[in-house]
């Protein structure tokens, strides 16, 4: 519940900042998306929410993904990946991406997809470094 509460609010804030949601009602709209994706919470069949554990056995982040049929074919879609601020830039996200990619291969998927907000420069660089190609870019100029 703690993870869901924080993640719903973070997602709403990012959607507002990127121009996808109006501020009013953003948390409720975000909650609705999460309710649709995870109707049984962490027990929703087909969804994997895995902790990232460092060498000392400490949880340092998580990754949430599922297998989906997309127009390009069957893929693993990463809904969220995050590393706690104190543990960033230590290779945890790269290791998690490699694990998800292995999972995709084990499940006969053609690849791994994800969405990243344009303002998240660090994540975009991480994904490019890991071999991901940008397939869509939506831009907004506020006037």
Task: Give the pLDDT confidence of 75-92 residue by residue, as tens digits.
Answer: 999 999 999 999 999 999
Q: Are 63 and 45 in contact (CB under 8 A)?
A: no
Q: What is the pTM of this model?
A: 0.90
Burial class (CB in 10 A: 0-12, 13-18, 19+), 117: middle
Task: Give pLDDT tens digits for 33-67.
Answer: 999 999 998 899 999 999 999 999 999 999 999 99
Give the mean pLDDT of the chain: 94
């Amino acid at each position: 519940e703690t993870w869901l509460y924080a993640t719903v609010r973070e997602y709403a804030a990012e959607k507002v900042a990127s121009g996808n949601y109006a501020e009013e009602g953003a948390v409720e709209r975000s909650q609705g998306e999460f309710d649709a994706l995870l109707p049984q919470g962490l027990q929703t069949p087909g969804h994997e929410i895995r902790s990232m554990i460092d060498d000392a056995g400490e949880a340092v982040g998580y990754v949430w993904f599922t297998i989906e049929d997309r127009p390009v074919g069957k893929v693993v879609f990463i809904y969220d990946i995050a590393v706690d601020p104190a543990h960033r830039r230590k290779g945890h996200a790269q290791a998690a991406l490699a694990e998800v990619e292995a999972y995709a291969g084990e499940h006969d998927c053609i690849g791994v997809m994800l969405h990243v907000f344009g303002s998240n420069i660090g994540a975009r660089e991480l994904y490019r470094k890991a071999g991901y190609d940008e397939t869509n870019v939506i831009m907004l100029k506020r006037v």
